[in-house]
Every structure is written in C-alpha cells, then in structure tokens.
Structure 1
C-alpha cells in the first residue's frame, strides 16, 4: 500500500508538472516559439518533468528501505545467526519465483508506458511542430485536453508498473 501511495503521489506530481510545462509552452508567442527547438520543448515536458519526480521518489525509497532492512537484519543476526541465514536463503527463493512470474505483468505495463510516451511525443509534434496553425486556430484547449488525457493514462500506468515492481520487496 505504501508503494502504491508513494508512486501515485510521484506520478501525479509528474503529470501536473508536465501539464503546466505543456500549457506554458503552448501559450508562448510565435516569436518565442521559433527561438526554441522542438526537441528542447519535448525534452523539457516529457523527460525532465518525470525524471525529477522519479529521482526524488527513488532516493527516498532507497533510504527508507535500506535503513529498515539493515536494522532488522542486524537484530536477526544478533538474535540467532544460524536461523537468519536459513531464512535468508528461503526468502531469496521466494523473491526469485515472485519476480519470475510478476515480470509478465510488469512488462505489459511497461509497454503501455512506452506507447503512452510515443503518443505524447506525437501530440507535442502535432501542436508545436505546426505552431503557426495552433496559434491561428486558437485550439489551445483541444491540445491541452489531448495531452492531459494521455499524460493521465501514462501516470496511471506508471503507478501500476512501479507498484508491481515493488511487490517482491514487500514480500
């Protein structure tokens, strides 16, 4: 449950940041737009918004899990080191089997994330590649809705993907 809530929080923050960056770039004047490359806009919206949030999330998870693991393992070794090593072997086998069978589900969600990212890049290319037409048609809302829905689907798939990846750690 902790992994789900943590991943949901991080994914929603990435989604909200991507939406704000998308709209800010969409509302730029044409002169500002021609001075920026489309690749830079894409990179800012897609990669950096998610990367910052995921990096922070990973760092916090690493510190939390490492401290708990070391404390519990130290107490177990101190209490009964023989039994601790036997249980370590048994748990390693369980994690191996869980990881083996969960990998199919994780790969499925990973492909959904990749497809969603590809759709987001197409949306970015469509509206920022033809920025003159976007400004002339004044279809900011259409662009925003298309990007927002795809970004939300991506955030949901990432939440499930990251939660499934954390399940072997919890067991």
Structure 2
C-alpha cells in the first residue's frame, strides 16, 4: 500500500471488500484499475492496474509472478521491458504490458474497480470517474491524504467522544 492511500472507512473488514471484488482462493493478486487517461493504457490497449494498493496471496505461482515482475527490467523474459525503467510508474507499466498477460489464467489476477480503490472523493478533472469510495489514493494530490486520514479517524473518534459526553451529562443530571 502506498503512503498516499487511505481507508476512509477503517471499520469495513478487508474480507468484505475482497468478497465484493470477487477475490477467490485461486486469486493471487488484485489491484485497482488505473484512471482512464491516455497515459494509462498498456501496449495491448487495456488500462493498466495501479500498484499503489495490492492484495497478494502467498503461493508458489505468486512468487513466480513477483520474480518475473522483478526481473522484467532485464529484458530476458520480456524484451522491451527495460524501456520503462526511468518512466513514472514504471512498475505499473511492467506489470501492465507483460506480467499480467503471462499470469492471468481465469481469475488469478483480479481488477478492482477504480471507483472503489483509485482516486479520491471530490476529484475533478482527469480521473474524476474514480472517487476511491473504499480506498482513497491521492497520487496527484498527496497533501490531501493527511486531511483524508484526519476525516477517517475523526469520524469514529467523535462518535465515542459524543457518547462519553452524553453519558456523563445524563449521569450528572444535566449540570455540574
């Protein structure tokens, strides 16, 4: 998980989200679809998957996939992969152009909708279709991640504070 990602509702169990996204026992990796922008497409014309939030399951096949991904820049298994070495989000494009096609039989690689786990609430302009409803990803506005963490925590903290104030008020008969 990137440092600019935030769970706006930390009380939601990750298992619930995994079920929502169709992650099964034979899924070994899940990532969110990238925002729909010209730079977000791979060489096959598909939107890349964003590597800012990854759910991975331990298995020999997962380890094989991560090794292939790590070695992509050496152009052995994937000729041309080293072209992405100095590019922004190089690991996304390495995965998007080569690795995901090599390791995606049935539902081994699950795409999480960008509206659930990419972008952030209130985003306007490029990528506004991705509001990060279950996971905000503040790639282009990293300063907003701090405010999102504050909102996320205060939502639950203030409920407890209010409950405690009310309990004390009622117990004390409405005055001090």
What TM-score do you get using the length of structure 1 for normalisation?
0.19
Structure with greater proportional helix content: 1
Q: Looking at CA atoms only, which structure, 1 or 2, has the larger radius of gyration?
A: 1
**Structure ranking higher on relative contact order (CA contacts 8 Å, 6+ apart):** 1
